[in-house]
Amino acid sequence: MIRFGTGGFRGVIGEDFDKANVQLIAQGLAEVSRAEKNDKPVAVGYDYRFISDRAAVWVSEVLAANGIRVLLFDGAMPTPAVMYAVKENELNYGVMITASHNPYYFNGVKLFLKGGVDADVNFTQRLEKVIDGISEVKTVPLESAKSSGLVQMYNDIDSYLGFIRKFISPGIVNNTAKILYDNLNGVGAVCLTKLAEKLNIKQFDVRNSGHDAFFGFSLPNPTREMMDPLSGIVRREGYDFAIATDSDGDRLGIIDEQGRYVDSNTILGALYYYLCRYRGEKGDVVKNCATSLLLDKLAAKLGYKCHEVDVGFKNISRKMAETDALIGGESSGGLTVRGYIKGKDSVFSSALFMEMVIMMKKPVSEIVREVYDFAEYSLDADEKTLSLSGFDGVEKYLTKNAPALSEKVLEIKHFGRNYKYILKNGWALLRMSGTEPAIRIFAETDSREQTDKIIGEIIDDLKKYA
């Protein structure tokens, strides 16, 4: 069976992710599209992962065989560029072949709906039922589909970058910035290097810009561990800061001028602070349930509200629309702002971060300190991943029990399959992975010692039921 999680359908290449399943998803989308009498093309994009380009062709061939026109990207592009294509061309559907930040042996399919937003649960559940009932998959050779006009090669990079520039202050072009960018062998560099040139960044040096479907056999995600090699380079060569993006260009990581990792919670908080205090913009903020209390504290001091939603960027974008929030994001490194596409975009967030540092005329470490001082924030946040063989047993235990902690749990909040425990001076969250047998454990307390202790106690307790 094909089932969609918070980030679409994902699977191990050659097992769950194979030609037959990709074609089934495309056939299901074709049948849903026909039932809705959709007469608009479907945008189809892909990243640098192994067989992503071939999978995009498989999708296009099936859609075309069902009489549905396709805008097939003529090269690998970041996920947000495909979301932008759906929005800009007023399409009803878009498809992206990617497994985002997952290891190289994964691939997947993301779906976008009208407006360029991630497909919601109602749509994916409907699509799953259609797919379960499919008895025949139609397909036609790509060249035949191109000859008939059903498949049109497409590229929107100039329009996409022009759209981003509308949200960036013109004052950024007069700068002396020296920035290091690690592409982690993803597709971010396809657009971000061109954007840095258009923004006239004085020095923008790129690492790992080549196409490597295996990402150097490393995790293509800008985590603390993956960005650690940049710390020494930044200090030694005097960079203002370093940027890294994940494999499909929707997550962002930062190293400050002292070689210290700036976590995603801080990036989101700093940009919210900058937009309000320095650009004079107004509005609430939206975060997912795994994101820091820094956002709550900033919103309160700024006179606004912080809204909390379940994991999944579609939940963030939906709540932003409901509340007309200024910015929304998550602890995993993705964000967007009011009026921009309804999805996370590290090309855009990188540009906004560059603007913030250039326009504030302060080192990143000083900006972080200013944000913390303003919010009166002094908590410590961390996360760990617990891989499990007995995933079902742990989940069954959690439906009726809270983990055994030395600190009293004041309240338990449920966000879908995620469990949040409110403590006297912080919180802990257990997030059930939708793509692998693992639980991500988050905690934020008033000290590193306490945060480590809470996470350790949770891990020890859950291992008993694995």
Phi, psi of 196 (to 5 degrees): -60, -35
**141 and 252, same domain (yes or no):** no
What pLDDT band is residue 73 in, cutting at 50, 70 and 90? very high
**61 and 171, same domain (yes or no):** no
**130 contact partners, CB below 8 Å, separation of at least 6:** 28, 31, 32
Mean pLDDT to the nearest integer, 2-19:
91
Tell whether 3 is covered by a domain: no
Q: Residue 95 and residue 109: Cα distance in Å, rounded?
A: 7
CB 191 within 8 A of CB 183: no
The rounded mean pLDDT for the chain is 94
Q: What is the pTM of this model?
A: 0.93
Q: Is the pLDDT of residue 437 over 90?
A: no
Instruction: Report residue 227 CA to chain centroid gap.
Output: 17
**34 and 48, same domain (yes or no):** yes
CB 120 within 8 A of CB 91: no
What pLDDT band is residue 434 in, cutting at 50, 70 and 90? low
| Percentage of the chain modeled with pLDDT above 90 | 85
Number of H helices and number of E strands within the chain?
Answer: 15, 21
Mean pLDDT to the nearest integer, 48-63:
97
Question: Could you read off the pLDDT of 124-166 as tens digits, one per residue?
Answer: 999 999 999 999 999 999 999 999 999 999 999 999 999 999 9
Q: Who has greater pLDDT, 465 or 245?
A: 245
**105 and 134, same domain (yes or no):** yes
Q: What is the pLDDT of residue 163?
A: 97
CATH of the domain at 111: 3.40.120.10
How many structural domains comprise the chain?
A: 3
CB 202 within 8 A of CB 176: yes
Q: Residue 153 and residue 203: Cα distance in Å, rounded?
A: 34
Residue that is written with structure tokens 């020890």 in the block: 460
Question: Could you read off the pLDDT of 167-209 as tens digits, one per residue?
Answer: 999 999 989 999 999 999 999 999 999 999 999 999 999 999 9
Among 339, 356, 375, the domain-final residue is 375
CA distances from 87 to 19, 36, 77, 93, 325 (A): 28, 19, 16, 9, 19
Question: Could you read off the pLDDT of 262-283 as tens digits, one per residue?
Answer: 999 999 999 999 999 999 999 9
Residue that is written with structure tokens 């191990």 in the block: 12
CB 251 within 8 A of CB 221: yes
CATH of the domain at 448: 3.30.310.50
Among 128, 155, 182, the domain-final residue is 155
Q: Is the pLDDT of residue 395 over 90?
A: no
Domain hosting 302: range is: 160-375
**101 and 182, same domain (yes or no):** no
Q: What is the pLDDT of residue 85?
A: 97
Q: Is the pLDDT of residue 390 over 70?
A: no
* Largest pairwise CA distance in the chain: 68
Tokens for 244, please give them.
Answer: 């890294």
Question: Could you read off the pLDDT of 79-90 as tens digits, one per residue?
Answer: 999 999 999 999
Give the H/E segment covering residue 123: helix 121-132
Residue that is written with structure tokens 């309000």 in the block: 276
b/e burial code for range 178-217 (CB count within 10 A of at least 16 → b): bbbbbbbbbbbbbbbbebbebbebeebebbbbeebbebee
Q: What is the pLDDT of residue 357?
A: 98
Q: What is the pLDDT of residue 348?
A: 97
| Percentage of the chain modeled with pLDDT above 70 | 99
CA distances from 247 to 24, 214, 427, 448 (A): 25, 10, 30, 30
Q: Is the pLDDT of residue 435 over 70?
A: no
What pLDDT band is residue 466 in, cutting at 50, 70 and 90? low
Among 134, 155, 176, the domain-final residue is 155
Which of 182, 179, 223, 186 shows the shortest CA–CA distance to 202? 179
CB 257 within 8 A of CB 240: yes
Q: Are strands 151-154 and 70-73 parallel, antiparallel or unpaired?
A: parallel
Q: What is the pLDDT of residue 312?
A: 85
Tell whether 4 is covered by a domain: no
**327 and 219, same domain (yes or no):** yes
Q: What is the pLDDT of residue 401?
A: 80
